[in-house]
């Protein structure tokens, strides 16, 4: 009889310390299933010095999600692989957006610092909130001798 163990993906550790038999037991799967998922690229365990697979708590949570998608939602393994890839991409993009927002906040803070010490405060840096669609036509001046 197996005991129920719950692992949250967001709070799970990335340390690859669980041997395949323990990870399989925690995920409620056979070790051969974990090997197959590794070959298919659904889960990427770490490797020990002797080549044995090592899983993290996050890997176990992912294995449970693979099992849920397969059994409860009827998604095939190719679809699950695509879902996992898209979720990873979304996570990466969300992190990138957060990093860029932080950089933007830092830039605005630096502009505010520069404006506070500048003798021409507020005149040389203008923040434009709306984008103009105006068309500006430039025509060179004609010389007076023509």
Question: Model confidence over 71-121: pLDDT tens digits?
Answer: 999 999 999 999 999 999 999 999 999 999 999 999 999 988 888 887 665
Q: What single string gives the DSSP state of each residue in the chain?
A: -PPP----TTT------EEHHHHHHHHTS-HHHHHHHHHHTS---EE-TTS-EEE-HHHHHHHHHHHHHHHTS---HHHHHHHHHHHHHHHHHHHHHHHHHHHHHHHHHHHHHHHHH-TTTTTS-----S---------PPPPTT-
Q: Which one is predicted more confidently, 135 or 61?
A: 61
pTM (whole model) above 0.75? no
- The domains of the chain, with CATH numbers, are 18-113 (1.10.1660.10)
Q: What is the mean pLDDT of residues 37-57?
A: 92
């Amino acid at each position: 009889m197996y005991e129920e163990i719950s692992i949250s993906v967001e709070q799970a550790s990335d340390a690859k310390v669980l041997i395949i038999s323990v990870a399989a037991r925690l995920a409620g799967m056979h070790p051969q299933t974990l090997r197959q998922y590794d070959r298919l690229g659904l889960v990427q365990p770490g490797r020990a010095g002797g080549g044995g697979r090592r899983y993290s708590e996050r890997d176990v949570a992912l294995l449970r999600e693979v099992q849920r998608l397969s059994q409860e939602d009827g998604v095939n393994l190719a679809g699950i692989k695509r879902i996992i890839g898209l979720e990873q991409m979304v996570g990466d993009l969300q992190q990138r957006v957060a990093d860029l927002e932080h950089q933007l906040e830092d830039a605005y803070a630096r502009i505010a610092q520069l404006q506070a010490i500048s003798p021409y405060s507020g005149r040389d840096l203008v923040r434009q909130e709306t984008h103009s669609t105006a068309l500006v036509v430039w025509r060179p001046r004609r010389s007076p001798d023509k």
